[in-house]
């Protein structure tokens, strides 16, 4: 039983982890917390859904969704990120919240507020017996895609020149610029990267959650605690935070009364911030005066 | 000896108060009702401005404080037959206690983390209210009895108007005076640099918890007035969007100024009415009302943050200074710092 719950938790946690990854990518590079990340994810998912239900084939639908994500990433960089770099954190938070409101209601205008479901799902959700566990192909796809995505991201950031430039910019933008790194272009790249990552998460969750304009904020409310749990700013922290939260949530659904389980991530988060404000993987930052 | 208010022009304050009391005489019931909502928004926004504008602590949980106040007052009057004025006070005090509790994490956190924790606070309060369904009716909502003061029932929109605006004016004036005291200056010092404030002997913890309590008190009173004005409250109303709305009010008005918060509260409350008028000129497909309202709300928010971060009130000050100096204006050298 417990192992079964953990399997479910891992597949859930993978989605949280990917969304949190998108958040952390942007935060590391631009020090901006993107409250519109959930909406970006959701809109890409809607594009995927529309193309797929127009019988364009799975491949075209994925490609179309990723293309849309690129455009959205560039737009976010131009509208939100560029004018607000270095501005007070208050203005940044409010600006991304404003953007999330605009995107959410745009989604409502374009796709209506009704729940959309994908029947049949491109990947079977019927559980199979694997040893003593029951695992559906859908769960395997989620975990598989997450592993591939994280690997690709890791290779990209560590082995390519461009990835190194992104890391350098996150570390110290001024020094990076002095070394001849075009940091404005890097910021655009980071936004595109983050938008692509969340588009992948968006496509993965459609069979499980369906589509609804409030979906974005609902997932952000899980991804934010996940990112904080891992110590905002660490990629591996985001993944670990997402997985931990997913597993804990699936356990809470089973073992705790329903009245507690939806506030459960927040209780963990608040306790965490009180005990160890820098997260599991974070290192305390000392502020220079 | 220089008189206390000698360096401040205050002749216009009685004027504004006078006009405030004349306004409902020329309005129909609906617009009086909108003004009532604006008055409640003024109270909460002024309280939030003390916290976010003056002290620099972001709260995404003010709707939750409002909910605490609204439900406290509603339950006390409906279930325990408390007199209205006492229950409003109790609503403020209970919300204040919640503020003190939330103030403790604020001692260690700032900026982003505080925003996230206050957001979580909202979710938790929502859950607690639903769990107390014996008193609060849970997610079905709760009817609220009419406010009674000394046996007089406050039912008409106009009488509610006077009740709300007496609260709004008194609380705005108190907030304005608070910012001019030693305490107010300490709060601004904390906002500008915690380290510097601490070095100057300001007890960070004490002031932060104090201002959280005051701000929550304002929201609690606002919530209680809201409950007795609308006469039916649900947990869904006090969501995070409402918290964001209050933040937008202080941004639009001009963050860190009490009068700005008042202007912002009026502006944002009347925005839907304005959109309602504009909507009639749009094709019916575009004019899906809720979405249109949300989009324009988001765009107004973006516009102010990107292009007018100092808000309406500061713009007004700039215009006034411009005309005061008129033929001898110094050349504009980029953005001025406030």
Q: Hey, which residues does B153 pair with through a beta bridge?
A: B148
B288·A109 Cβ contact <8 A: yes
Structure-derived torsion over alpha carbons of residues B17, B19, B21, B22, reported in degrees to the nearest 10 = 170
| DSSP H helices in A31-87 | 37-53, 58-76, 82-84
Mean pLDDT lowest among A76-80, A277-281, B258-262, B272-276:
A277-281
Mean pLDDT, contiguous 10-residue spans, chain A (289 residues):
85 90 88 89 92 85 94 92 81 88 90 79 76 83 92 90 88 87 90 93 87 86 84 82 88 80 78 74 56
Q: What percent of chain B has pLDDT over 70?
A: 92
Model confidence pTM above 0.95: no
Amino acid B337: pLDDT = 47
Helices B157-179 and B204-230, packing angle to 10 deg? 170
- Shortest CA distance from B53: residue in chain A: A90
Residues of A in contact with B309 (CB under 8 A): 87, 91
Neighbours of A56 (CB within 10 A): 13
Q: Is the dihedral of CA A206, A208, A213, A215 positive or negative?
A: negative
| DSSP H helices in A172-275 | 173-178, 183-209, 215-229, 235-255, 258-261, 264-275
Burial call A255-278: b when 16+ CB within 10 Å, e when fewer: eeeeeebbbbbbebbbebbeeeeb
A97·B131 Cβ contact <8 A: no
Residues of A in contact with B290 (CB under 8 A): 105, 108
CA–CA separation, B132 and B146 (whole Å): 22
Q: Give A262→chain B minimum CA distance, Å.
A: 9
DSSP one-letter string for B194-246: HHHHHHTT--HHHHHHHHHHHHHHHHHHHHHHHHHHHSEE-GGGSSHHHHHHH
Query: pLDDT by residue (tens digit) across B73-96?
Result: 999 998 888 889 999 999 999 999
Query: pLDDT by residue (tens digit) across B115-131?
Result: 888 888 888 898 899 88
B263, two tokens = 């202007």
Domain boundaries along the sequence of chain A: 2-214
At residue B110, what are phi and psi to the nearest 5 degrees? -150, 175
Tokens 């989605």 correspond to: A15
A55, two tokens = 């019988």
Beta carbons of A20 and A78 less than 8 angstroms apart: no
B287 touches chain A (CB under 8 A): no
Residues of B in contact with A267 (CB under 8 A): 120, 124
Tokens 């510097």 correspond to: B196
Q: What is the mean pLDDT of residues B201-230?
A: 92
Size (chain B), residues: 338
Q: Give B56→chain A minimum CA distance, Å.
A: 8
Residues of B in contact with A268 (CB under 8 A): none
Residues 6 or more apart whose CB falls under 8 angstroms from that of A89 comprise A33, B58, B111, B112
């Amino acid at each position: 039983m417990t192992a079964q719950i953990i399997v479910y938790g891992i597949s859930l946690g993978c989605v949280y982890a990917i969304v949190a990854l998108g958040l952390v990518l942007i935060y590391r590079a631009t020090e901006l917390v993107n409250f519109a990340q959930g909406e970006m994810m959701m809109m890409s998912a809607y594009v995927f859904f529309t193309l797929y239900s127009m019988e364009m084939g799975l491949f075209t639908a994925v490609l179309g969704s990723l293309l849309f994500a690129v455009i959205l990433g560039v737009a976010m960089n131009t509208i939100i990120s560029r004018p607000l770099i270095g501005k007070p954190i208050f203005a940044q938070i409010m600006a991304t919240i404003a953007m999330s409101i605009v995107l959410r209601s745009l989604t409502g205008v374009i796709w209506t507020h009704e729940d959309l479901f994908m029947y049949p799902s491109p990947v079977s959700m019927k559980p199979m017996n694997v040893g003593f566990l029951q695992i559906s192909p859908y769960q395997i796809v989620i975990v598989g895609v997450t592993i591939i995505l994280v690997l690709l991201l890791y290779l990209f950031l560590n082995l390519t020149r461009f990835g190194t430039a992104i890391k350098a910019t996150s570390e110290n933008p001024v020094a990076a610029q002095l070394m001849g790194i075009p940091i404005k272009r890097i910021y655009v790249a980071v936004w595109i990267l983050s938008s692509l990552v969340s588009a992948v998460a968006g496509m993965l969750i459609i069979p499980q959650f369906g589509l609804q304009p409030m979906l974005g904020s609902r997932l952000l409310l899980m991804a934010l605690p996940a990112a904080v749990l891992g110590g905002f700013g660490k990629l591996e922290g985001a993944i670990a935070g997402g997985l931990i939260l997913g597993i804990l949530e699936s356990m809470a659904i089973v073992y705790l009364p329903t009245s507690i389980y939806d506030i459960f991530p927040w209780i963990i988060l608040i306790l965490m911030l009180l005990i160890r404000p820098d997260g599991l993987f974070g290192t305390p930052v000392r502020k220079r005066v | 000896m220089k008189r206390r208010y000698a360096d401040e022009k205050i002749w216009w304050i009685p004027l504004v108060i006078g006009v405030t009391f004349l306004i409902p005489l020329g309005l129909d019931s609906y617009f009086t009702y909108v003004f009532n909502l604006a008055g409640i928004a003024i109270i909460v926004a002024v309280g939030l401005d003390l916290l976010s504008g003056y002290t620099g602590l972001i709260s995404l949980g003010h709707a939750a404080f409002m909910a605490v106040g609204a439900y406290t007052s509603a339950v006390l009057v409906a279930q325990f037959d408390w007199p209205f004025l006492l229950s409003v006070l109790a609503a403020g005090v209970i919300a204040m206690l919640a503020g003190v509790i939330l103030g403790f994490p604020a001692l260690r956190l700032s900026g982003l983390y505080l925003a996230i924790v206050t957001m979580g606070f909202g979710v938790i309060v929502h859950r607690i209210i639903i769990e107390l369904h014996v008193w609060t009716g849970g997610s079905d909502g709760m009817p609220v009895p009419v406010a009674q003061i000394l046996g007089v029932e406050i039912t008409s929109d106009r009488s509610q108007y006077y009740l709300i605006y007496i609260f709004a004016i008194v609380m705005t004036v108190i907030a304005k005076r608070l910012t001019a005291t030693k305490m107010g200056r300490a709060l601004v010092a904390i906002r500008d640099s915690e380290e510097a404030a601490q070095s100057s002997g300001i007890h960070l913890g004490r002031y932060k918890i104090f201002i959280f309590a005051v701000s929550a008190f304002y929201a609690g009173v606002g919530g209680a007035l809201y409950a007795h004005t609308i006469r039916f409250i649900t947990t869904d109303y006090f969501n995070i969007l409402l918290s964001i709305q209050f933040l937008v009010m202080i941004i639009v008005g001009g963050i860190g100024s009490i009068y700005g918060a008042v202007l912002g509260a009026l502006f944002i409350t009347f925005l839907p009415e304005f959109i309602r008028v504009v909507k009639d000129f749009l094709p019916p497909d575009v004019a899906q009302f809720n979405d249109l309202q949300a989009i324009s709300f988001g765009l107004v928010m973006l516009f102010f943050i990107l292009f007018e971060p100092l808000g309406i009130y500061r713009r007004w000050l700039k215009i006034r200074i411009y005309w005061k100096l008129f033929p001898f204006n110094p050349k504009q050298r980029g953005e001025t710092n406030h």
